[in-house]
Amino acid sequence: MFDDLPEWFGIPESTKEYIDTAGNQICLLAKDSQDYIGFMSLIETSEGFEIDCMGVLKSYQNQGIGSLMMDTLKEFARQKEKTALLVKTLSEAYPSSEYAKTRAFYEKMGFIKSRYLDIWGEELPCLEMSCQF
């Protein structure tokens, strides 16, 4: 699935890290009648979950799959008596139309910009977004 999304997962080292850590994380998967079409890996926190990695195959984007996955995550979090979600993504200082769409998606899902972090280096400016529910 990562191969279908090189605009988001084009750095081999970080993609390998996502794959390696997913085995120890909670993962939500979206599937059509035969194939997996979306994924989300989660890190549990005291208040909720951090979305470590999320993607939907290009041919399924803009069809509500990501929104459905987010609704499923929120319901799962409520069942676990959690009230918050976090996600880290590239900030608007990174010139990318794909990441502009990513930020817009999270905002549509109720996330707000919380803070800017210097964790990935100057060339990859990080924005943390949060959602309370």
pTM: 0.90
pLDDT score recorded for residue 91: 98
Degrees (nearest 5) of the Cα angle 49, 53, 59?
125
What is the tens place of the pLDDT at every residue in 77-92? Answer: 999 999 999 999 999 9
Distance CA 105, CA 50 (A): 16
Degrees (nearest 5) of the Cα angle 105, 110, 113?
80
pLDDT score recorded for residue 12: 80
Which domains are assigned to the chain?
A: 2-132 (3.40.630.30)
- The mean pLDDT value for 18-40 works out to 93
* CB neighbour burial string for 29-43, b if at least 16 within 10 angstroms, e if fewer: ebeeeeeebbbbbbe
pLDDT score recorded for residue 9: 83
pLDDT score recorded for residue 97: 96
Q: pLDDT band at residue 123, thresholds of 50, 70 and 90?
A: very high
- The mean pLDDT value for 104-131 works out to 98
- The percentage of the chain sitting over the pLDDT mark of 70, rounded to a whole number, equals 100
